[in-house]
Amino acid sequence: MTYQQIQNCEGGKNRISASLLLAFAEILGVPVEVFYVGWREL
């Protein structure tokens, strides 16, 4: 991903697919759930 793509995702302009989210979790060595912490607060 480029810096601009990350900024768009953080700003809510674009969404990340579940498969890409899983790939990020695997690369970082963390469970995919870490990306959902606090989602109920939105």
- Give the number of domains in the chain: 1
Q: Which of 17, 26, 25 is nearest to 35 (CA)?
A: 25
pTM above 0.85, yes or no: no
Residue 14 to residue 9: CA distance in whole angstroms: 5
What is the percentage of the chain residues whose pLDDT exceeds 70?
76
Q: What angle do CA 3, 28, 18 make, to 5 degrees?
A: 70
Quick one: pLDDT at residue 25?
A: 92
- How sure is the predictor about 22, in pLDDT bands with cuts at 50, 70 and 90? very high
- How sure is the predictor about 18, in pLDDT bands with cuts at 50, 70 and 90? confident
Domain that holds residue 33: 3-41
| Section 32-41 average pLDDT | 76
| Section 3-17 average pLDDT | 72
Residue 26 to residue 19: CA distance in whole angstroms: 11
